[in-house]
Homo-oligomer: A and B are copies of this chain.
Amino acid sequence: MSKRKTMHADDEVPAAVAEREPRPPVEAIRAAAFAQFAERGYPVVTVRDIMKACGLTQGALYNHFKSKDELLHDIIASTQGELERQCQQAVAGAGGDPRAELAAFVRVYVMRHCRLRIEALVANREIGWLDSARVADIRRSRRAIRDIVVTILEHGVERGVFDPPRVDGKHDLKAIAMALLDQCTHVSMWYGPGGDLTEEQMAKLYTDMALRVVGAAPQA
């Protein structure tokens, strides 16, 4: 119940008992907004809807967020930041072999888009409602992720372990990276845990497909 105001240097985090029910209101608002944006879409969800879902009145939103727009940005940015971090980590842990790097990237990316498909869906579907200032850093993060893939492909081609398709004799690694990412991103639009494949199997399938596309034989 305390945890936020007292500043004695020794009770920073109780750590053992993570009492959880009375989530700080800003968390409750985030969660309620996320659920409703996912279900009905940003422009038709009203501030009243969100605040009613956490038992508050509309005006209270503005004690925690400057606007409805900032609230959406907050939700999308945290998802996007976490995704970028996981992708970097996966590639860094692959030991420098382009095949292993691509496989690790696709695996993490697909598993995440299966497991957190609602988060991914909101981030991809609602981004267009952000005003241009706030959309910029989201797009930066997406470009960064695309460039991770492009870099993997470049290394693979340089070392001769990838042989991706050419158009008129030349590679267009950016287009190929976009194709791979589109494919992997949009599993969040149709994958469901009730389907034929588990998340693990999805990751394996998409890894195989990616390796085929870039012209590397599947590993092992």
Contact = CB atoms under 8 A, between A and B. Distances in A.
Contact of A172 (B167, B183, B196): B196
Majority-rule SS of A interface residues:
helix
Interface residues on A, range: 35 or more
16 contacts: A41-B129, A43-B44, A167-B197, A168-B201, A172-B197, A172-B201, A172-B205, A175-B196, A178-B190, A179-B183, A179-B206, A179-B209, A182-B182, A182-B183, A182-B186, A209-B213
Given A125-B128, A172-B201, A180-B183, 20 more contacts: A41-B129, A43-B43, A165-B205, A165-B209, A165-B212, A165-B218, A167-B201, A168-B201, A175-B205, A178-B187, A179-B183, A179-B187, A179-B205, A179-B209, A182-B182, A182-B187, A182-B189, A186-B186, A212-B213, A212-B215
